[in-house]
Amino acid sequence: MLAVDEKSQIRPLTAPSRGCRLKKGRCGTMTHDYKRNGTTTLFAALNMLDGTVIGECMPRHRHREFLRFLKTIDERTQPNLDLHLIVDNYATHKTPAVKTPGSSGIRAFTCTSRPLPARGSTWSSASLPRITRKRIRRGVFKSVDELEQAIMDYLDKHNGHPKPYVWTKTAAEIFSKVARAKQALESQH
């Protein structure tokens, strides 16, 4: 089972002067006169069994790029396994080409939209904010290529010591929560 998500519009910012450095008792600062150097989108898939992440950066965030990422997942996973993907309800995941992956040359898989397991719904719930906080936010990157290399280095470091996702609820507890949420939605309409 893979939890798939994306982080779009990541910008490599170049600050001409860094501002004050972090010290005990003083917050870090950045100057307001930075230069934007383009954007990238990180597509990531967390293998919930072993904790490894398949990641790829692409220049845009459309269903075409998502399909390319699905092909990457297909290539990097064992061909004899069925793929089960947990995705959010983003529009790129709902296009006909994505919903019928067999026609795109990608091995058939099952897509489940949120709210399946709470923390495992996407890698972003914990790790995408962490990559922003620990690697991207205070970094100074002169180009998109430099930013993408830093992201891939971070993923390689993560995959060097992966931590598998540990389920804390039983399947019955998860399905009862989903049923309650479904019932609440139906009662609102």
- pLDDT for 79-132, tens place per residue? 888 787 878 777 777 777 777 766 556 676 666 655 444 444 445 455 667 787
Residue type, 11: R
Considering only residues 116 and 32, tell me which one the structure prediction assigns the higher pLDDT.
32
Task: Please tell me the predicted confidence (pLDDT) of residue 136.
Answer: 80
Distances, alpha carbon 2 to alpha carbons 23, 31, 55, 83, 183, in Å = 40, 39, 12, 7, 27
Distances, alpha carbon 102 to alpha carbons 55, 69, 87, 106, 158, in Å = 22, 14, 18, 5, 31
For residue 119, which of 156, 166, 163, 75 has the smallest C-alpha distance? Answer: 166
Give the pLDDT confidence of 59-83 residue by residue, as tens digits. Answer: 988 888 988 998 899 899 988 887 8
Residue 30 pLDDT greater than 90, yes or no: no
Phi, psi of 154 (to 5 degrees): -60, -45
Residue 52 pLDDT greater than 80, yes or no: yes
Task: Please tell me the predicted confidence (pLDDT) of residue 121.
Answer: 44
Q: What DSSP letter does each residue of 64-78 carry, written as one string?
A: HHHHHHHHHHHHHS-
Total-model pTM = 0.71
Task: Please tell me the predicted confidence (pLDDT) of residue 8.
Answer: 85
Query: Is 41 in contact with 58 (CB distance < 8 Å)?
Result: yes
Strand boundaries in the chain, DSSP class E: 2-10, 13-14, 35-36, 40-47, 53-58, 83-87, 109-113
